[in-house]
Amino acid sequence: MAAAPLLDVDGLVTGFEAGNRFVPVVRGVSFSIARGETLALVGESGSGKSLTALSILGLVPPPGRVAAGRILFEEVDLATLDERALQPLRGGRVGYVFQEPATALNPVFTIGDQIVETLEVHGVAYGAAARTAAVDLLADVAVPEPARRLDAYPHELSGGLRQRALIAMALACGPVLLIADEPTSALDATVQAEILDLLRGLKARRDLAMLLITHDFGVVAHNADRVAVMYAGQVVEQAAVEALFAAPAHPYTRALLASMPDAVPRGGRLPAIPGAVPLPGEFGNACAFAPRCAARFDACDREAPALVSVGAGHTARCLLYPAGTDLGEATGRQAPVRADQRAGDAR
């Protein structure tokens, strides 16, 4: 019998009260993460990735709220816990690296003070022992001269070192799960690569599970085991990383992959997906991606696709795939054609 996943999110609905209407932003998201596993959550800005992550630890800012779903972490449903019960998990069993680096470190305290505070609040270490632990943490995230850096203020550090300090803080209490929301998007390319290497090393050394949020498939390729692609508040495809790159099923995934810098011919322009992610409340009752979809056909404007299995551990939410489709033999990135459309397709 397989061990229970570390985190098992099932049917998560998160949204906002607007007037006397509830506007869903995250619309029935389900995924699970095993111990030591990295799941990447991918999608364009505005697809609901951050709200999904914030929902896990009850950090959705009002007027937002989790309206439905189960969030089993170590077999406890976090969706049923109150603030008091959630507090020790935040920065405790679950480390969090937030999307906005500017707000994550307090500018008036040194790096050391902030790591020490985290250790003390969680009762891990106090005083001199906490300072020693903080030096070890900075060393573990490869901050050079960690003892000296302990007394630096955030503004005295480069962007890359600040991000390392934040990661050290998230790891301070020995979490089993690290949620990292776009941990490198504010950094330049070289530093990004260094931080991603660091996260990969930490994952291996500490047997950390990770929810890694990104809009970059390069990050997915290098750091994740599995990937869930989100669009307009729903998971539209989920697969092991190799399977997703070898045989991407959803037209949205294909379009995202085609817009990766590596896919652009030398001197070519980065092909962007035409159109924009729909705003919450404007998802419609059919396929939310249809207006931008290269493989769209008539039914796409009428029917909302369900998430169906398209291969081993591989699911997709697209009307191209009636339940029971198996992409096992599919290779490359050619869009598959529905059996009933294959003959006489004029295009």
- Where do contacts with ligand ADP occur on this chain (CB under 6 A)? 16, 25, 43, 45-51, 61, 64, 279-280
Determine contact, residues 241/220, Cβ cutoff 8 Å. yes
Nearer to ligand ADP, 48 or 175 (CB): 48
Chosen from ligand ADP, Mg ion, none, partner binding at 28 (C-beta under 5 to 8 Å by type): none
Q: What does 27 bind: ligand ADP, Mg ion, none (CB cut-off 5 to 8 Å by kind)?
A: none
Q: Which of residues 82-141 bind Mg ion (CB under 5 A)?
A: 99
CB closer to ligand ADP, 279 vs 294:
279
SS3 letters across 3-18: CCCCEEEEEEEEEEEE
Least distance (Å) from ligand ADP to the CB of residue 65?
11
Neighbours of 188 (CB within 10 A): 10
Question: Under 8 Å CB-to-CB from 54, ≥6 apart: which residues?
Answer: 14, 60, 61
Q: Cβ-closest residue to ligand ADP?
A: 50
Name the amino acid, one letter, at 124.
V
Give the H or E element holding residue 38: strand 38-42
Cβ–Cβ < 8 Å for 218, 224: no
**Which residue has the closest beta carbon to Mg ion?**
50
Cβ at position 127, least distance to ligand ADP in Å: 38
CB 159 to ligand ADP: min, Å: 20
Q: Is 184 in the site for Mg ion (CB under 5 A)?
A: no
Looking at the Cβ atoms of 26 and 247, the one nearer to ligand ADP is: 26
Which residues, in sequence order, are bridge partners of residue 181? Answer: 213
Q: How far is the CB of 48 from Mg ion (least distance, A)?
A: 8
Q: Decide: helix, strand or coil at residue 227.
A: strand
Least Cα distance to 172 among 78, 96, 74, 58 occurs for 96
- Residue 291 interacts, among Mg ion, ligand ADP, none and using kind-specific CB cut-offs from 5 to 8 Å, with none
> Is residue 214 at the binding interface for Mg ion, with CB under 5 A as the rule?
no
CA 130 to chain centre: 31
Question: Do 31 and 238 form a contact (C-beta atoms < 8 A)?
Answer: yes
Amino acid identity at 337:
V
60/318 with CB nearer ligand ADP: 60
Question: Which partner, ligand ADP, Mg ion, none, binds residue 102 by CB below 5 to 8 Å per kind?
Answer: none
Question: Measured from the CB of residue 212, what is the shortest distance to ligand ADP in angstroms?
Answer: 13
Site string for Mg ion, 248-267 (x = CB under 5 A): --------------------
Cα distance between the two ends of the chain: 49
- Which of Mg ion, ligand ADP, none does residue 48 bind to, with CB < 5 to 8 Å depending on kind? ligand ADP
Check binding of 50 to Mg ion (CB under 5 A): yes
**HSE-up (13 A, CA, CB side) for residue 232:** 20
CB of 137 closer than 8 Å to CB of 171: yes
- How many residues interact with Mg ion (rule CB under 5 A)? 3
Query: Beta-carbon neighbour count of residue 63 at 10 Å?
Result: 11
Residue type, 232: A
CB atoms within 10 A of CB 227: 26
Min separation Cβ 280 and Mg ion, Å: 13
Q: How far is the CB of 236 from ligand ADP (least distance, A)?
A: 13
Give the nearest distance from C-beta 50 to Mg ion in angstroms.
3
Q: Is there binding between residue 55 and Mg ion (CB under 5 A)?
A: no
Decide the pairing of beta strands 94-97 and 177-181: parallel
Q: Given the rule CB under 5 A, which residues bind Mg ion?
A: 49-50, 99
